[in-house]
Amino acid sequence: MTYGFGLGAGLKALTAARLGIQTAGHNVSNANTPGFSRQRVTLSSALPFTVAGGLQMGTGVDITNIGRVVDSSLIARLNLQSGLVARTQFEFNRMREVEGIFGEPDAGLSEDLASLFGSVGKLQTDPSDRSLRGGAVQSAATLADSMNLLHQRLSQMGNNSFDEAGALVAELNEKAQQIANLNGQVGSIEAMGSTANDVRDQRDMLAQEISEIANVRTIERESGVLDILVGGHLLVSGTRTSPLSVRATSGQVPQITSGGSAVDIGSGKLGALLSNAGTDVSNLISQLDRIARNLALEFNRVHTTGIPGSGPFQTLTSTLGVADTDGDGQRGDELLNQTGLPFDISAGQLWVNVTNRASGDLTRTRIDIDPNTMTLNDLASQLSAIPNLSATVDPSGRLRMQAATGYGFDFAARLDEHPDTFGSFGSGYPVIGTAGDGPFDLSGAAFPQQFT
Region of poorest pLDDT, from 159-163, 200-204, 322-326, 406-410: 159-163
Please state the rounded mean pLDDT for residues 316-339: 89
Asked if residue 216 lies in contact with residue 230, where contact means CB atoms within 8 angstroms, the answer is: yes
3-class secondary structure, 190: helix
Helix axes 281-303, 130-190, angle to 10 degrees: 170
Asked if residue 231 lies in contact with residue 256, where contact means CB atoms within 8 angstroms, the answer is: yes
The edge-to-edge listing of strands for the beta sheet with 348-356 is 362-369, 348-356, 407-410
Please state the rounded mean pLDDT for residues 402-417: 86
The reported pLDDT for the residue numbered 371 is: 92
- With cut-offs at 50, 70 and 90, classify the pLDDT of residue 430: very low
Rounded to a whole number of angstroms, the distance between the first and last alpha carbons of the chain is: 157
Asked if residue 39 lies in contact with residue 70, where contact means CB atoms within 8 angstroms, the answer is: no
pLDDT of residue 49 exceeding 90, the answer is no
Residues 229-271: tens digit of each pLDDT: 888 888 888 889 888 888 877 666 788 888 778 888 878 888 8
Strands (E), 175-304: 216-220, 226-230, 233-237, 240-241, 245-248, 254-258, 261-262
Q: Across-strand partners of 236?
A: 228, 241
Distance CA 258, CA 273 (A): 18
The reported pLDDT for the residue numbered 265 is: 84
- With cut-offs at 50, 70 and 90, classify the pLDDT of residue 96: confident
pLDDT of residue 428 exceeding 60, the answer is no
| Cβ within 8 Å of residue 85, ≥6 positions away | 212
pLDDT of residue 423 exceeding 60, the answer is no
CA-CA-CA-CA torsion sign (121, 123, 124, 125):
positive
Phi, psi values for residue 125, rounded to 5°: -70, -30
3-class secondary structure, 107: coil
Q: Provide the total of helices (H) and of strands (E) in the chain, helices listed first.
A: 8, 19
Strands 61-68 and 56-57: unpaired
Distance CA 300, CA 312 (A): 17
Distance CA 63, CA 82 (A): 36
The reported pLDDT for the residue numbered 406 is: 94
- With cut-offs at 50, 70 and 90, classify the pLDDT of residue 415: low
CA-CA-CA-CA torsion sign (170, 172, 177, 182):
positive
- With cut-offs at 50, 70 and 90, classify the pLDDT of residue 431: very low
Mean pLDDT estimate for the chain: 83
- Residue 46 burial class via C-beta count within 10 angstroms: exposed 0-12, middle 13-18, buried 19 and up: middle
- Smallest Cα–Cα separation from 247: which of 235, 234, 232, 262? 262
Please state the rounded mean pLDDT for residues 374-402: 94
The reported pLDDT for the residue numbered 329 is: 86
CA 202 to chain centre: 38
- With cut-offs at 50, 70 and 90, classify the pLDDT of residue 429: very low
pLDDT of residue 1 exceeding 70, the answer is no
| Cβ within 8 Å of residue 426, ≥6 positions away | 420
3-class secondary structure, 371: coil
Residues 5-18: tens digit of each pLDDT: 667 778 888 888 88
Identify the residue with better confidence: 121 or 99.
121
The reported pLDDT for the residue numbered 451 is: 63
- With cut-offs at 50, 70 and 90, classify the pLDDT of residue 380: very high
Please state the rounded mean pLDDT for residues 211-226: 85
The reported pLDDT for the residue numbered 259 is: 78
Question: How far, CA to CA in Å, does 42 sit from each of 20, 190, 265?
Answer: 9, 17, 41
Please state the rounded mean pLDDT for residues 386-394: 94
Residues 168-195: tens digit of each pLDDT: 889 999 999 999 999 888 888 877 777 8
Residues 257-313: tens digit of each pLDDT: 887 788 888 788 888 888 777 667 778 888 888 888 888 888 888 888 888 878 899
The reported pLDDT for the residue numbered 356 is: 92
- With cut-offs at 50, 70 and 90, classify the pLDDT of residue 359: confident
Asked if residue 88 lies in contact with residue 81, where contact means CB atoms within 8 angstroms, the answer is: no
User: By 3-state DSSP, what share of the chain in percent is helix, strand and coil, each rounded to 5?
Assistant: 45, 20, 35
The reported pLDDT for the residue numbered 398 is: 94
The reported pLDDT for the residue numbered 418 is: 63
- Smallest Cα–Cα separation from 397: which of 295, 292, 326, 320? 320
The tally of CA atoms less than 13 A away on the side-chain side of residue 444 is: 0
Question: pLDDT exceeding 70 applies to what percent of the chain?
Answer: 90
